[in-house]
Every structure is written in structure tokens, then in C-alpha cells.
Copies of this chain bind each other. A is one copy, B any other.
């Protein structure tokens, strides 16, 4: 991404505040410039230490930033110094060891690639400057975010250090610059912080893969059942259904199954707790991970439902639909049939459309509340109500949508060509399991015991009850 060197949308560089605290930067690259700009705008004085200051195009820096040699800078600044050079050049800075002793060095570098072993850049810097206080911060922030004042991209700044006081002053600085600092503890966390930018959407990998595999399976199932086999069987050419029709038959199935997968782990967890008669045991890892990816699964299910909705609303735009209508009209005229209306079909289509639309609407509400800014305005009970209450409403409605769609076709022999059941039957299995499970767990016999367990009760002998019962947990 190319960076505009002065952000025109943001405020103009204001005259240098000559009383503000002085902060130093080693290096004169883009990052250094953007950093200088943000610091000046926040009322700090900035000194940039360069190897060959005379060569630096000072016009690229905001007014009032002083450009000098690294040594001069290191000597002048007695507070914080940003190290904005590539890690491989840290050794070239050893000369500054004396002047930087006792001062705060902020390491802003990223990891080049994921490495299992080896120390982090910040740790190496700390080795080179044993008497300075190294703080890891700002690496996840782009030069752009620094200039535009954190308008887009992340505003979170992960900070860690072994020097508590230096760390808190950097946390303070980050806040002053308009970012949201997050304290990550000791410098040993720096490796993870440096590698954070290398992992794209860590929490999305699993859910996306799952959804994609579900899509593939059902797409090929439908392809086989309604295109390939009929073609091989009696040469019926319906390949023109591949791009749109079959996709639009697959998407609702994906949406429904994925939505069921959102609520299945919660049930499993409950069953596990009922069986163990305690909640004080860790869940197996897979269940833990599953529980943590419910939000992603839910959003992917919504995406599939959305696409299904758009596809369906475009169905009548298709030339094929156009032709079918004309041909049917032709047939009807030739058959001399005055009214072709079949009341039951009218009811069927209206009912499944209604359920579908309402289910989609509820799902959309869910998706909206999962926007951070909206979720933040809910207290946790409201959030739970929306996520679980509305969630099951959506699941029920979309299941009814599918049932009405299926109508009585499941009982007609012609719905099983080549002994393959219609896809909506397969789609219904998981949701029905989940809804039944949910219903059973709602029965007093189970729900009461579950509440006790979640309030911390345990079958005697495991834990002194007084303790167990008195523990407050906001679940």
C-alpha cells in the first residue's frame, strides 16, 4: 500500500510545541517519518537520528522535526527512543550503547517469518543494549495508521517489556497518540507480538475450511444426482444448471448445516458437564476450539444465507425462467386449460418463502450484533440473549423453511432417482438433532441439574461444597 507522505484528510502539521517532551527516532524511513508526524501532531518534540543526516530529505519530515546524527540524538534525548531500522542492522547501533544506557528503547520491528525457535528482535535488541529498557510496541501499526491518525486498520497496539515502569509510560504514549494499547506482559511475549502480523485471520482458517468442504460435498452430490447421472442415463443435457441453479441449491444447505454446527458444541459441552457432574474439568481441545469458533461459523452461515437470498431473488431474471414460462403458457393454451392454479402449491411456496425471509431477518440481526461496535453497547446478558435466543429462533425458522420447501416430496418415490435422497433431507438431519437436543436439555430434570453444576455445585467429595457454592461466576 503506497503511503501519502502527508495525510491531507488529517489535521495540518501544527507549529512545533517547543515545551512538549522530547522523543527520539533512529532511522529516517517512511515509518520514521510517519511516526514523527504523529508525535508532532500530539504535541511532542521529535529528534531523528540518521547515519548521514545531511543526505536526509528533511522536507519529507513535518516542520520542526530536528534531523541530526544518531549520536547527537542519543545524547540529547533522555526519555524514549524509537528504533525504526531493520533488525538486521541492530548491530550497527552498538556505538550508541553508552548514550542510550538507562533510556527506553522502543522496538517496532516485525518478524520476517514464523520461526519455532530463536529469540525475537526485541530480545536481540535487549542483548545489544543490556543497560537500556527495551519495550516492544507499535509493530502491528502501519505507517499509514500513524499518519491518518488510526482512521483505518487496527488501532490496537500490543506492548510488552520486562521494565514495568517503562512499559506503562509507553502504554501512556500509545494512548496519547490515539491508539488502544494492550499490555501483553514480559518481553518473552515479544516473539508472539512480532509474528502477529504474519498470521492472517488466525481464528478464521478452521471455520472457512469446514464451510468450504460442506459446500463441495453437497455441490457434487447435487451435480451427480441431477446432472451427471441423468445425462449418462438418458442423455439429458442440464449442464447449464452448473453456474447458478446448483450453486443456489447448495448454498441454503451450507447455511443450514453451518448454523447447526454453531449450536452443536454448546449442547455437547452441556452433556459433557451433566455426565461428568462438574464443570471444573477442561473440555477436550477440539471442543474448546470448536466453542471458540462459533462466531466465525455463524457469520459464514449468514454469508451463505445472504448469497442464497440474492441468488433466489435473481432466479426470475434468468432467461431460462423466461423461456420456461413462455413454453408453459404455450402448453396451457394448447391443453385448453383455463386455470392451472394448484392451491396446495400456492400455500407451499408462500409458507416456505415467509419462513425463509423471517429466518434470514433474524440471522441478519445476529450478524449485526456481532459487529464489535454494536456488541459493545450490549451488556453481557443482552448479548447472550441475542446470540442464543435469536440464534435458536433463526435455526428453527430455517428448518421450517426447509420442511415447507420439502413439503410431501420426501414421500414420493420419484424423489429418489438412483436411490439418492433429495438434498433437503440430508440438510435437515443435523438441525433436527440440535433442536431435539436443545429441547431435551430444556426439560426440568436436566436443566435444573445443569444450572446447579454451572453455579459450581459438584457431586460431593470432589470439592468442599461451601467453597463450590459460594463461587461467583458470571455465566
Stoichiometry, copies per complex: 3
Within 8 A of B (CB), among A102-154: 108-110, 139-145, 149-154
Q: Is A470 a contact of B86 with CB atoms below 8 Å?
A: yes
Q: Check A143–B473 contact: CB distance below 8 A.
A: yes
Provide a sorted-by-A list of 16 A–B residue pairs whose CB atoms are within 8 angstroms: A2-B475, A3-B475, A43-B164, A51-B467, A60-B282, A85-B470, A86-B469, A86-B470, A152-B383, A196-B379, A201-B382, A244-B353, A312-B317, A314-B357, A324-B341, A326-B328
Q: CA of A378 to CA of B196 in the docked complex: distance in angstroms?
A: 11
Given contacts A4-B291, A317-B353, A319-B345, contact A472 B371 (CB under 8 A): no
Q: A280-B57, A316-B316 are in contact. Are A376 and B154 (CB under 8 A)?
A: yes
Given A14-B189, A153-B379, A375-B153: A326 in contact with B325 (beta carbons within 8 A): yes
Q: How far is the CA of A1 from the CA of B266 in the complex (A)?
A: 7
Instruction: Kindly state the separation between the CA atoms of A318 and B349 in the bound complex, as whole angstroms.
Output: 6
Neighbour of A319 across the interface among B51, B346, B372, CB < 8 A: B346
Does B55 contact A463, Cβ atoms closer than 8 Å?
yes
Chain A positions 270 through 307: 1 when the CB is less than 8 Å from some CB of chain B, otherwise 0? 10010000011111000011011001000000010011
Those of A190-217 within 8 Å (CB) of chain B: 192, 196-198, 200-203
| Other contacts beyond A17-B162, A313-B313: 20, CB < 8 A | A2-B270, A2-B475, A4-B291, A5-B283, A20-B164, A27-B471, A29-B471, A52-B464, A86-B469, A108-B472, A141-B380, A144-B475, A153-B375, A153-B376, A153-B378, A156-B377, A178-B182, A197-B379, A316-B316, A333-B333
